[in-house]
Amino acid sequence: MATITFIGLGNMGGPMASNLVKAGHDVTVFDLSKDAVAALVSEGAKTAETAHEAARGAECVITMLPAGQHVEAVYLGDDGLLANLPAGTLVIDSSTIAPETARGVAEEAKARDIPFIDAPVSGGVGGAKAGTLTFICGGAEETFSKAKPILEGMGKNIFHAGEHGSGQVAKICNNMMLAILMAGTSEALALGVKNGLDPAVLSEIMKQSSGGNWALNVYNPWPGVMEGVPASRGYEGGFLVNLMNKDLGLAFDNAVKNHAAIPMGSLARNLFELHAGQGNGALDFSSIQRLYRPEDK
């Protein structure tokens, strides 16, 4: 068991930290949300007044933050964690950020003899709660091997994608594809219902046919078709539209830098940006269904 500091207790980070507590690790948490911290303390975690205090004495620091600027603010500079952690402290960042941002943090960590990996996740809030997340790691093989036993307390599939930043590249490719699939699934369901089909029956047909995909099979976007998913609770919780927009922006920026054509990814980004602009940014990304069915509000 390890002494772990977990920073960032949002929809994903909270359940991830909870699973580390359940696994028997000595976990100290920090977040700006007092309610999020209190929930983890009630499960057996410790807490501290600042991120620096929370990280004191930790063998491993894990962060799950909204965007690259937050990761840089936590780790870099004279007041950042890297400047104050002892050499040898394992650092794992599970945020989804630009590959070059992850590489920048990794370079600073290396200069201070601090092993670092970028380890973004896939699997959504359900996977975070169930401890079945997929971790997509970038960094040295030795650091990956050191981190893997800890990651196994939060996930089921642990991949080493390659060097620093590779985890982020794989993650933005995955989320771009997910956005495309969710938009396409929503479009197909709306067309079927316009023609008088029952969305549940149509979903079952497509699940057993060539149109089956993750968005349809386990995260159906049509309200009432599938229990336990955001679509059946007013699209509350889950992976927010605003966060999907951030990831699609990362994919777009990366494509520009690498001269890669992503016509469907660009279209998905525009669709989700349009959806967010209509006041849906704080809803789960499966609420893109409303773009094709505006009366469902």
Backbone angles phi, psi at 62, to 5 degrees: -120, 135
d(CA 296, CA 223): 9
Tell me which of 110, 129, 148, 171 is the catalytic residue. 171
Contact by Cβ (8 Å): 281, 241: yes
61, β-bridge pairs = 5, 91
Q: Look up 171 and say whether it is catalytic.
A: yes
Write the burial class of residue 4 (CB in 10 Å: 0-12 exposed, 13-18 middle, 19+ buried): buried
Quick check: helix, strand or coil at residue 29?
A: strand
Give the β-pairing of 121-122 and 133-138.
antiparallel
Q: Which residues contact 254 (CB under 8 A, 6 or more apart)?
A: 98, 99, 169, 172, 260
Helical pair 263-275 and 241-257, crossing angle rounded to 10 deg:
150
Longest dimension (CA), the chain: 64
Place of tokens 């201070």: 112
Q: Which residues contact 175 (CB under 8 A, 6 or more apart)?
A: 96, 122, 244, 247, 248, 251
Write the burial class of residue 109 (CB in 10 Å: 0-12 exposed, 13-18 middle, 19+ buried): buried
Tokens of 173: 């490719």
Helical pair 99-111 and 68-75, crossing angle rounded to 10 deg:
10
Catalytic residue IDs: 171
